Amino acid sequence: MREEAVNRVRVVFTLLDANGNGVLEPVDFELMATRVVAAAPRSGEAEKDALRAAFERYWAVLAAELDANGDGRIDFDEYRSVVLDPGRFDATIAEFARALTALGDPDGVGRVDRPTFVALMSAIGFERANIDALFDAFGPSADDRIEAAVWEEGIRDYYAPDKAGIPGDRLVGRATA
């Protein structure tokens, strides 16, 4: 497993622990879904419901696959095995990636502008400098928009254990220009 993959997973664990008590529980995913939906005022109810459903499923799958000691919570040692066998989570991550990027593209034109991207990624909890660095790594157009499909693929790559030097690494540590 690439060290970069472990670092990416650690960042996600910290963010998913929305109430900051050191373990993942259902309430974290409810909090996160509420925050992200609140950051997407231009999106329709169907898209918001899809995002909420994606977070619910995300938790359900993590709980079923990673809660090794069966206490209904997932600590980091349990969570880090998410990258050992990512195939188990492909469908869940793909659903999440699709739901999130759909919120980023409320007009359904396949493109995401920077303010919308920043709002959603800030709601998840990433730092502004990292968010901008990631957006730039996705190769924005002259009018400062990225392809929704590129972002969606970037989310899936983020969880890939064998990838390094990918745009998602911009979300780890301090952003560098």
Query: What are the residues binding Ca ion (CB under 5 A)?
Result: 17, 19, 21, 28, 67, 69, 71, 73
CB of 13 to Ca ion, least distance (A): 10
Distance (Å, whole) CA 49 – CA 145 = 25
CB of 68 to Ca ion, least distance (A): 6
Residue 31 vs 94, nearer CB to Ca ion:
31
Please provide the size of the chain in residues.
177
Residue 65 vs 147, nearer CB to Ca ion:
65
CB of 22 to Ca ion, least distance (A): 7
Residue 28 vs 105, nearer CB to Ca ion:
28
Cα 126 to Cα 40, 48, 123, 130: the distances in Å are 16, 20, 8, 7
Distance (Å, whole) CA 59 – CA 5 = 20
Distance (Å, whole) CA 160 – CA 158 = 6
Distance (Å, whole) CA 164 – CA 55 = 26
Residue 71 vs 90, nearer CB to Ca ion:
71
CB of 148 to Ca ion, least distance (A): 30
